[in-house]
Chains A and B, each alone.
Chain A
């Protein structure tokens, strides 16, 4: 059963440090999404890509967040510098770009910034 793989599973870091989260989408899926989930805000869309090109990153704080897809098998989300308010679970999800295709989620990276 194909799965979206995210690493690391958990990350604890100090304020001001750089954080990089990685995602391997399901083979053959050409749309990739980054979401952030917190108790207060729920599930927020940060950015998404189609065929490795960014389509929308309006949900990301531009001054500290960046998202890229160096190749079709890897998506990265970087935070530099990290702040305590960035503490959340970050999910990557992928889908085929065909009508009615569902979104498949990874198990997330739980980020804690102290």
Chain B
């Protein structure tokens, strides 16, 4: 079946440090892949997406590349800011049926 495995947190980084949050997936067919971000007291917001192999999703300095050969979709940012402190979720979208599959979330804290 479909599933998403996400890097355990919490992650604490200094401002301007490089960020990587690992995400791997198991899926049949060709799903879409997403990263969501959740700020305190809010719902999950779409951060970026990729819909096919080798696609790179990007937004607000964050990037992730859909790697079919390694079944991965790692999130990266070259220089994090305090405002990036949040919980990040990797998700796999439906290619058949309607269900989405989420990772367990990775909490990121960026300190000045």
Main secondary structure of the interface of B (DSSP, over half): loop
Cβ distance A104 to chain B, nearest Cβ, rounded Å: 7
B51 and A100 contacting across the interface, CB-CB below 8 Å: yes
Residue B73, interface by CB 8 Å: no
- CB-CB under 8 A from B36, the residues of chain A are 105
In whole angstroms, how far apart are the Cα atoms of A100 and B42 in the complex?
Answer: 24
> Given A48-B98, A50-B98, A91-B44, is A102 in contact with B93 using a C-beta cutoff of 8 Å?
yes
B: interface residue count bin:
20 to 34
A49 to chain B, nearest CB (A): 9
User: Which residues on the A side are within 8 Å of B102 (C-beta)?
Assistant: 42-43
State the total of A-B contacts with C-beta under 8 angstroms: 54
Cβ of A100 and Cβ of B93 under 8 Å apart? yes
Nearest-Cβ distance from residue B91 to partner chain A, whole angstroms: 7
Residue in contact with A100 in the complex, picked from B32, B44, B91, B98, CB distance below 8 Å: B32
Which residues of B sit under 8 angstroms from A43, Cβ to Cβ?
Answer: 89, 102, 104-105
Which listed residue, A31, A56, A102, A106, touches B43 by the CB 8 Å rule?
A: A106
Interface pair A99/B43, CB less than 8 Å apart: no
B25: Cβ under 8 A from any A Cβ:
no
Which residue of A is nearest B34, CB measured? A102
Q: Which residue of A lies closest to B104 (CB)?
A: A42
Asked if A42 meets B98 with Cβ closer than 8 Å, knowing A105-B45, A106-B43, the reply is: no
Closest 8 CB pairs of A and B: A105-B43, A100-B51, A105-B44, A100-B32, A107-B43, A102-B46, A42-B104, A31-B98
